Amino acid sequence: MKDIDLKKLDPFAQAVVELRVPIKHGEVTIDRLTLRPPKAKDALAIDGKAAYSMAATLGLLEVLSGVPVGVLGEMCPEDAAEASFWVLLTCQRFQGVINLFDPEAGEDPTEAAGTPSPTSSATFAE
């Protein structure tokens, strides 16, 4: 999966997940999932499900893509992992961790305001 700059994502843009292994739905072969931009009502698909569970992931993926959970369940693990990234991004938007309208409003989880990473040599400096 390529690096994505959250500050350059359009909150109204669709996300596309190219499947490495196409999945079948009847006579239709699905080789990509097109996820529409999320709306507040989409959070109902994961309401009551354990956070970050596969049930929550597939539930939200179903409403964003329009592909039934039974079909999404046929994805290979690598494709499911990539699709899960977009679901996690959506969940973080619902929680306010990421704000695509005002990227400075949400905290970038990869940056800790000048704090060296735990594996940085600066962490172990005397």
**Tens of pLDDT, residues 8-37:** 788 888 999 999 999 998 899 999 999 999
Residue 96 and residue 37: Cα distance in Å, rounded?
Answer: 16
Which alpha helices (DSSP H) does 4-76 contain, by range?
Answer: 54-65, 69-72
Q: Which two tokens stand for residue 85?
A: 């990234």
Q: What is the pTM of this model?
A: 0.74
83 phi/psi in degrees, rounded to 5: -65, -35
Number of H helices, E strands in the chain: 3, 2
Strand, helix or coil at 68?
A: coil
**Using an 8 Å Cβ cutoff, are 30 and 119 in contact?**
no
Question: Per-residue pLDDT for the chain (126 aa), expressed as one digit of tens each?
Answer: 567 777 778 888 899 999 999 999 889 999 999 999 999 999 999 889 998 899 999 999 999 999 999 999 999 999 999 999 999 988 888 888 888 888 776 555 555 555 565 555 554 454
Q: Which two tokens stand for residue 63?
A: 């409403």
Backbone conformation region of residue 21, classed left if phi is above 0, alpha if psi is from -120 to 50, else beta: beta
